[in-house]
Amino acid sequence: MEQTTENIYKFGIIGCGLMGREFASSVARWCHLAEMDVKPEIVAVCDSNPDILKWYTNNFDSIEQVTSDYKELLSNDNVDAVYIAVPHNLHQEFYCAAIEAGKHLLGEKPFGIDKAANDVITECINKHPGVFVRCSSESPFFPALQKVGKMIEEDVFGAILEVNSGFLHSSDMDFSKPINWKRMLKFNGEYGCMGDLGMHALHMPFKAGLIPKNVRAILSNVVEERPDGKGGMAKCETWDNATLFCETVETKSGNEFPMTIKTQRIAPGNKNTWYLEIIGTKTSVKWSSKQLNTLEILEYTGGEQAWQVIDMGHEMAYKSITGGIFEAGFSDSILQMWAAFLYELNHGKPISKFAGCVTPAEVALSHKLFTASLESQKNSSVVNI
């Protein structure tokens, strides 16, 4: 239970909106982690909107630098690492500048507005091997998914028959909701909902070495215009919903099977649902964030086929002070992701395979898949990856 704080990494946050606050809140409750020998401290914040920075300075005495210029923050020698959570059109410029300044980086997905931007970021990472870079994606840190990760490592599934993974929400169901940057091509990119939600759906399959060989994608633009918030209407050009049908190879066994990846912003009945199903000849699992702490497992040993329903407790990858029987939630998964980033930065590897953040190679693969999906939609074709 004793927490040592030998290694402190001084952080700057660039982009202090929705996700910037989640990181700051994780820093504030770092004492929740029982056995960490490394700790973040926020010393600098940057956002082009000065109003939102007051929440940070009101809550964090450690902040020494407040700026609207990200270059100013990156030239601060007291900053060791940065979290960057800005609109997608800024990823390439900001991430490369951070890496070139020698700052360790946790960057938000999709890690570049398109494949060309991601290729430039990847090249920059390769030129600076001393800088630790990972992509943000918190969903696999829920206890049920950590258990699935262990099951994958223990090879319990037999031959995998099918994998279904997705992220469905409905924050665009209200057609009268004014447009924001996440629905504009210029800021969000051509990927649309895939860029927003795709990395979350791909995180577990990619860590498991389940690699799409090709894709047939069906993308839908359901809402073509939205109120512009100024009394007029604005074009809403990004893809709202995507279903990707992938012929997939399990790298370990060479077995092939179908995998569907769904990312939807207009999914009636789903506020923010992430799900994963792995169907195998020996073992199958089903999980949905609708019942965050429930894992369904079917083990076939001959005889009846019965689904077991398991209540997960607070079985976190990075030990927490919370009692083992208590439920986990969204902010716990964010705290765990940050524990994973700092643990790997400090120790050179994650505490276990599925308790690691998304790597640059996994991100690059997601860009290949999304780019192939755009081509597949355009030509109604199956596209090799």
Ligand X SMILES: NC(=O)c1ccc[n+]([C@@H]2O[C@H](COP(=O)([O-])OP(=O)(O)OC[C@H]3O[C@@H](n4cnc5c(N)ncnc54)[C@H](O)[C@@H]3O)[C@@H](O)[C@H]2O)c1
Contacting ligand X (CB under 6 A), which of 23, 70, 167, 245? 70
When the beta carbons of 198 and 280 are compared against ligand X, the nearer one is 198
**How far apart, in whole angstroms, are the C-alpha atoms of residue 361 and residue 207?**
11
Interacting residues of 352 by C-beta distance below 8 A, sequence separation 6+: 149, 150, 153, 317
Least distance in Å: CB of 219 to ligand X? 18
When the beta carbons of 32 and 169 are compared against ligand X, the nearer one is 169
Contacting ligand X (CB under 6 A), which of 13, 27, 46, 317? 46
**How far apart, in whole angstroms, are the C-alpha atoms of residue 356 and residue 343?**
9
Least distance in Å: CB of 273 to ligand X? 13
Site for ligand X in 225-254 (CB under 6 A): none
When the beta carbons of 46 and 342 are compared against ligand X, the nearer one is 46
Q: Which of 329, 53, 57, 15 is nearest to 181 (CA)?
A: 15
Indicate whether 47 belongs to the interface with ligand X (CB under 6 A). yes
Site for ligand X in 107-146 (CB under 6 A): 108-109, 136, 138
Query: How large is the angle between the packed helices 360-379 and 115-127, nearest 10 degrees?
Result: 160
Q: Which residues pair with 8 in a beta bridge?
A: 39
Least distance in Å: CB of 196 to ligand X? 6
Given a contact cutoff of 8 angstroms between Cβ atoms, the answer to whether 185 and 259 are in contact is: no
Least distance in Å: CB of 22 to ligand X? 8
Q: Which of 188, 197, 202 is nearest to 272 (CA)?
A: 197
Site for ligand X in 71-110 (CB under 6 A): 85-88, 90, 108-109
When the beta carbons of 114 and 138 are compared against ligand X, the nearer one is 138
Contacting ligand X (CB under 6 A), which of 172, 196, 240, 332? 196
**How far apart, in whole angstroms, are the C-alpha atoms of residue 133 and residue 122?**
10
For residues 44-78, one letter each, b for 16 or more C-beta atoms within 10 angstroms of the residue's C-beta and e for the rest, the string is bbbbeeeebbeebeeebeebeebbeebeebbebee
Indicate whether 19 belongs to the interface with ligand X (CB under 6 A). yes
Indicate whether 3 belongs to the interface with ligand X (CB under 6 A). no
Given a contact cutoff of 8 angstroms between Cβ atoms, the answer to whether 132 and 95 are in contact is: no
When the beta carbons of 87 and 350 are compared against ligand X, the nearer one is 87
**How far apart, in whole angstroms, are the C-alpha atoms of residue 86 and residue 109?**
10
Least distance in Å: CB of 360 to ligand X? 16
Residue 119, classified by CB atoms within 10 Å of its CB into exposed (0-12), middle (13-18) or buried (19+), is middle
Contacting ligand X (CB under 6 A), which of 49, 62, 75, 78? 49
Contacting ligand X (CB under 6 A), which of 1, 2, 6, 18? 18
Q: Which one of 3-11, 44-52, 148-156, 263-271 is the stretch in contact with ligand X (CB under 6 A)?
A: 44-52
The tokens describing 363, both together, are 């991100």
Positions in the binding site for ligand X (CB under 6 A): 14-19, 46-49, 52, 70, 85-88, 90, 108-109, 136, 138, 196
